[in-house]
Amino acid sequence: MIYLLRHGADDDTRLGGWSDAGLSLVGIEQVRRAGEKLSSGDYNIQHIFSSDLPRAKETAETIAEKLGLHATFIEEFRETNNGELAGISKAKFQTDYPGLFYSSLEWDQRYPNGESPALFFTRIKNAWQSFKSEASALSGNTLLVTHGGVIDVILCIENGENYTNKRIHYHVNHAEIIRAL
């Protein structure tokens, strides 16, 4: 079985994407609670994989320590590459990039020095297909720590829904555990 875990909350005054932000104090507490839940024995997590962006990496390392496991980091499970917008303040975003939201991008339109929704979807689809195949050969359950946008794509794929960047199909809270398979 594969479980997905969205990273804990980070600095909400800045944009995410490929930002280098770690967890906020709220996020650290969210992850602590998720670790307690995952260690309850109901999940039987034997393997932990994660996006390598700091907020996901910190989440995975905290969970791995709680479970006595090692986390492996996979770059392909990063959030959308928002290029020049990664980690900028929301005030600067409003001034320099007003209205340039993920949902406003055309399917093939890239963020400045970033990726398009089409490229993001293809990256996640390919990574997920490969990951599922590799995880099926592992004993015990697997946890993938990643980002809200990534989880949205994965759940669309698993539920046979057409993905679009024009809306969020599956809203997942910070540090929420979701059963993917």
Q: What is the pLDDT of residues 129-157, one digit of tens each?
A: 999 999 999 999 999 999 999 999 999 99
3-state helix, strand, coil in the chain (%, to 5): 40, 15, 45
Confidence of residue 181 (pLDDT cuts 50, 70, 90): confident
Which of 129, 104, 132, 106 lies closest to 119 in space, CA to CA? 106
DSSP, collapsed to helix, strand or coil, labels residue 83 as helix
- Structure token digits, residue 159: 């539920």
The one-letter code for the residue type at 132 is K
- Structure token digits, residue 43: 């999940």
108 touches 158 (CB < 8 A): no
pLDDT 10s digits, 81-102: 999 999 999 999 999 999 999 9
Longest dimension (CA), the chain: 50
Query: Tell me, what CATH number does 19's domain have?
Result: 3.40.50.1240
Total domains, the chain: 1
Which of 121, 175, 126 lies closest to 152 in space, CA to CA? 121
Confidence of residue 13 (pLDDT cuts 50, 70, 90): very high
**Distance in angstroms (rounded) separating the CA atoms of residues 63 and 32:** 8
Question: Which residue range forms the structural domain that includes residue 169?
Answer: 2-179
| 22 CB-near residues (< 8 Å, 6+ apart) | 10, 54, 55, 58
State the chain's mean pLDDT as an integer. Answer: 97
pTM for the whole structure: 0.96
